[in-house]
């Protein structure tokens, strides 16, 4: 493995880790539930994407068995499941709020509520 490839792989891993970290920072810092939903979508897309790309390059270069495509599978599954998770969480939050069981939570910062135009 050449030095250049090693640099590319390292850069991708650091980039991926950085975006997963940023997703967590968002989860901790953002003030209300719906804003916090945005953290994990970042982590799953570019964070996991960059890490898996690094893995694909590493195993493609290391083995003499040709290119490694394993990594496409988790990416595919994540892209299918991540929106469903966000959707279910958002739905649950909307129901909780409309049934008035949201006391004790920070007041929602988002301006327009659904159904109010």
Partner 1 sequence: MRAILPFPRLSLMVFLLWAVITNAASLGQLVLGALLAIVIPLLSRDFWPAPPPLVRPWRALRFMGVFALDIVTANWRVARQIIGPLHRLSPAFVEVPLDLRDPFIATLLGSVVSLTPGTVSIHVDQQRWVLLVHALDVPDPQALIDEIKERYEQALKEIFAC
11 vs 13: CA distance, rounded Å: 6
Could you say which of 45, 61, 97, 102 contacts partner 1 (CB under 8 A)? 45
Instruction: Map residue 33 onto helix, strand or coil.
Output: helix
CB of 3 to partner 1, least distance (A): 26
Identify which range of 1-9, 85-93, 98-106 contacts partner 1 by CB under 8 A: 85-93
Could you say which of 7, 62, 72, 98 contacts partner 1 (CB under 8 A)? 72
Could you say which of 80, 103, 104, 107 contacts partner 1 (CB under 8 A)? 80
65 binds partner 1 (CB under 8 A): yes
- Distance (Å) of CA 77 to CA 4, 34, 45, 63, 88: 31, 24, 11, 25, 17
Is residue 55 within 8 Å of residue 9, measured between CB atoms?
Answer: no
CB of 91 to partner 1, least distance (A): 7
Identify which range of 2-10, 24-32, 98-106 contacts partner 1 by CB under 8 A: 24-32
């Amino acid at each position: 493995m050449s030095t250049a490839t090693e640099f590319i792989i390292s850069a991708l891993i650091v980039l991926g880790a950085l975006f997963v970290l940023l997703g967590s920072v968002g989860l901790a810092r953002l003030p209300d539930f719906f804003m916090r939903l945005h953290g994990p979508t970042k982590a799953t897309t570019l964070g996991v994407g960059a890490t898996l790309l690094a893995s694909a390059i590493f195993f493609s270069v290391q083995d003499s068995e040709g290119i490694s495509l394993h990594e496409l599978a988790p990416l595919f599954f994540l892209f299918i499941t991540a929106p469903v998770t966000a959707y279910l969480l958002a739905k649950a939050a909307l129901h909780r709020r409309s049934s008035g069981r949201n006391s004790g939570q920070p007041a929602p910062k988002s301006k327009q509520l659904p159904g109010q135009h």
